[in-house]
Amino acid sequence: MLVYDPTRPLVSLHLPKTGGTSFRQVLQTWFPEGTLHLHYSLNGQRPERHDLKAGDCVHGHFNGARGFGVWHYDPEARQCIAFFREPFDLFLSYWFFIRKQQALGHPVKDLEDDPSFEVWLLRRAADQAEGHNSHSFVWQMPVAPGTEDLDRLLDERFVFVGIMERYEESVTALARLLGRPLIDLPHVNTTERDSDFNAWRRIYERWFPDEYDIYEKARARNAALIAGI
């Protein structure tokens, strides 16, 4: 993986349901006012383009399938960081999150016809088969899916990859890499689960192998980073 260069901007990819809201609070501590920029859609509009300077960090949701991928804003981005999560666990967490939003009265387009978990999963599998599963985190990588070898992608586009299953160790390793202080980790925007869909796990693994390819490679690199603390 690349060596962190503090004279260049940092691009923090907030993959949904990987602790990105909590991690944003960490970044707000590490990057003084004016050097942390947020990349989130507002009222259905695409995130604004930021004029990043040396030492800046931009953090938020990037999604190439929806027209606001990293490559739409900075195709040469080479200082990316991201936290990854076991793909089925991530998928489940997102399901429970949008169900909670619906229960709170917020409109959720994916749930307008109140689909069951099975129906919602089958819809994502159909999107996957047609090559436009915009819900998948593969579209949130720095390059379009299939345009760059995965090993090359992780080695030449990222300076750090974290793993949710080793969150605290990952943040500690990242703090050392960036030369930032260790802090107590916040945990916000969590969602309780009221059902068990674990029987679908093996099916998910078969239907979404591209997610597992990225995850397993990221996990191996994360283990090496943590071992080097």
Per-residue pLDDT of the chain (229 residues; tens, 9 = 90+): 889 999 999 999 999 999 888 899 999 999 988 999 999 988 778 898 898 999 999 999 999 999 999 999 999 899 999 999 999 999 999 999 999 999 999 999 999 999 999 999 999 999 999 998 999 999 999 999 999 999 999 999 999 999 999 999 999 999 999 999 988 877 665 666 656 799 999 999 999 999 999 999 999 999 999 998 6
Residue span of the structural domain in which 65 resides: 10-86+136-191+211-227
Q: What is the dihedral of CA 65, 67, 70, 75, to 10 degrees?
A: 110
Residue 201 lies in a domain: no
Residue 62 lies in a domain: yes
With 0-12 CB in 10 A as exposed, 13-18 as middle and 19+ as buried, what is 25? middle
pLDDT at 33 (0 to 100): 84
Number of folded domains that form the chain: 1
Tokens of 51: 């004029």
Residue 183 lies in a domain: yes
What's the half-sphere exposure (Cβ side, CA atoms, 13 Å) at 120?
A: 20
Lookup result for tokens 């991530």:
90
Residue 41 lies in a domain: yes
Q: What is the pTM of this model?
A: 0.92
The Cα–Cα gap between 54 and 36 comes to 11
The Cα–Cα gap between 132 and 41 comes to 20
Does residue 108 contact residue 98 with C-beta atoms inside 8 Å?
yes
